[in-house]
Structures are given as structure tokens and as C-alpha cells.
Homo-oligomer: A and B are copies of this chain.
Amino acid sequence: MILTVTLNAALDITHHLDRLRPHGSNRVRAVAERAGGKGVNVARILHALGHPAVVTGLAGGLTGRAIRAELASAGLADRMLSIAGESRRTVAVVEESAGDTTILLEPGPVVGAEEWARFLDHLDALLADATAVVLAGSLPRGVPEDAYARLLGLAHTRGVPAVLDADGAALSTALSAGPALVKPNADELAAATGLSDPVAAARALHAAGAGAVVASLGPDGLIAVTSQGSWRARPPARLAGNPTGAGDAAVAALTLGLATGAPWPGRLAEAVALSAAAVAAPLAGDFDPDVHRALRSRVAVRPFAPFAAEEPHPCP
């Protein structure tokens, strides 16, 4: 099975209304809620694709109970560790009239040192049965900055390949621990390296320890820098929709590719098609299966030289 880790799991609440009146009193027409956080979204997509996924991470309080109740009703295997703090909510206020969305992100719980130590043991036990592990999303307060480096160390010892989707210090401190794959988006890539050219930045992360770097560039698709080669993968057309969750869909496809050892061009085509299918679905963690089927054979995947044209080629 594939294990996904969501350290700052969330209850994602969606409020539907006609138009948001800031500084006014707004009657919400309809409410939806479900478990969220990047790792949960990845697991939901893997589950929909027919691949067994196990969800772990930290969840607490009545919001944690709501998260876990929804995981159960969605049929996702829940191995969350309970903590004392109250899990976070996110509120997405969707205006039906204009299609605009306003998002509120609660900070989430403060995790105790003893809880973190227990999670390391908990994850280590789960890794015994994992074919791959996904570490995704922000770190809750109280967890050390190099948390992902610690989790990557456990995966490495167990021989389980790990995919990391993180940014900032959580990403930079984890590279030397050797993730099999990291998947930054364009902003995260630039922030992590200080380089504006995505290819140069991806090369830098690869050189810093990531086995492969797949950067998601929104409607321009993906670039991949790996030890086996470098590729660009582009969707056949721009798709309108909700970009939230497109990255999670790419991570799901790339993790499946890692677990099965599929050749890189196929993995990348699948990742682009699944991302586009997620853009076509209204909620993060969902994808449109028709779009997925229609696009998977139409993604253009082309190798490129490992050094960007604008940079001098290093001397032999």
C-alpha cells in the first residue's frame, strides 16, 4: 500500500453563497465538509484510481473526530495518530454568482514533544507495509522544522521510497535526507533556490539531494529533472477550473509511478493528465475521470538537455 502523511490535517469546510458581502452578515446557502490536507487529498485520488492508500498524520479534538469520521465515510483507511490539540479547519467561501473563492486557513494545533516522538514510532510501524510514502503539506506548530528529514530517515531505513511535497524550511532541511522525489510548484521552486529559471532551480534541488525533481508549472505542465534524464510534459490545452488540488493529483500519479517503476515519460504524462482532470473537478482530492481518460494519451512529453540554453555548458 501507499502511505500518505498529513501532519496538519484539516477539516475543509465549503460555504456556498451567492455573493460575499465583506463587513456584512452573510447567510450561507449550503455547507459541505470533508477531510483535507495535501496527504489526505493524495490518498483520496489514489483510492479513486483503485490503489490502496493509508492515511496517517496527526488529528485531535472534535475537529479531528470530524476529519476521521469523513475519512471513514469516504472509505479511506485511517491510521491517524490522536493528539490533544484541536485540528484546524479551512473555510472556502464560494460565490456562486462570480465563481470567486475566499479562503480562511486556521493555524491548527500545537503538537507536544511527546506526541511527536510517538508519531515517529507510529510511522515507523506503518512503513513496514508501505511500498511508497508521501509526505505532504505544512508542518503544525510544535513539530521541529526538520520534521520531514526525520521522517525521510525512517523511510530510508525501511527501504521505502518517499515523495515530498513541501516548501520553505520544511523542504530545504529535508533535501539532504534523500527524498526519492520532490514536487515543488514554480513559486516554491524559486523560493527554495533563489533562482527564477525553473530548470536551473530544479537542477539545484536535484544536486542538493532529491532523487528526482518534478516541478508543476500550472497550465504549462511539468518539468522533471532526474538521474535518468530530464523532460517537459505539457497538456494539449489549457483547462479552466479550480487549480487547488492539481498538485496533489500530480503527486498521486508520480507516487504510483515510483511504486511501480514505470518509465519516466509515462509517469509524467499520467501526472499531467491527472492534474488537468483535478482542475476540472470542483474540490481538491477529486478529479474528472473523463478528462483523465481523454488526456492521458495526448500529453506531449519531450526530453531536454540537462543544462538550460542560457547557461554556459560546464567544461568536460
A binding-site residues for B, Cβ under 8 Å: 13, 15, 17, 20-31, 62, 65-66, 69, 89, 91, 93, 100-107
For A65, list chain B residues within 8 Å (CB): 62
Cα A28 to Cα B104 in complex, Å, equals 6
Task: Given A69-B62, A107-B31, answer yes or no on A101-B23 (Cβ-Cβ < 8 Å).
Answer: yes
A104: min CB distance to chain B, Å: 5
Q: For the complex, give the distance between the alpha carbons of A106 and B30 in Å.
A: 7
CB distance from A69 to the nearest CB of B (A): 7
Let me know if A29 and B101 touch, CB within 8 A: no
Q: Would you list 27 pairs from A and B whose C-beta atoms are within 8 A, ordered by A residue?
A: A15-B91, A15-B106, A17-B104, A20-B22, A21-B102, A22-B100, A23-B100, A23-B102, A24-B102, A24-B103, A25-B103, A25-B105, A26-B102, A26-B103, A26-B104, A26-B105, A27-B105, A27-B107, A28-B104, A28-B106, A28-B107, A30-B107, A31-B106, A62-B65, A62-B66, A62-B69, A91-B91
- The winner among A15, A23, A24, A104 for most chain B CB atoms within 10 A is A104
Give chain B residues whose Cβ lies under 8 Å from the Cβ of A102: 20-24, 26
**Shortest distance from the beta carbon of A2 to any chain B beta carbon, whole Å:** 28
Cα distance, A107 to B28, chains bound together (Å):
6
Question: Residue on B with the closest CB to A65?
Answer: B62
The copy count of this chain in the complex is 2
Q: Which residue of B lies closest to A108 (CB)?
A: B31
Contact between A105 and B22 (Cβ–Cβ < 8 Å)?
A: no
Interface contact A28-B105, CB-CB below 8 Å: yes
Residues of B within 8 A of A29 (CB): 107
A15 nearest CB neighbor, chain B only: B104
Decide yes or no: A93 and B104 within 8 Å by CB, A22-B20, A62-B65, A62-B66 being known contacts: yes
- Nearest residue (CB) in B for A91 is B91
Tell me the minimal C-beta distance from A78 to chain B in angstroms.
15
In the complex, chain B residues whose CB is within 8 Å of the CB of A93: 104
Expressed in whole angstroms, the minimum distance between the Cβ of A286 and any Cβ of chain B is 19
Q: Cα distance A22–B66 when bound, in Å?
A: 27
User: 8 shortest A-B CB distances, which residue pairs?
Assistant: A23-B100, A25-B103, A62-B66, A28-B106, A31-B106, A26-B104, A22-B102, A27-B105
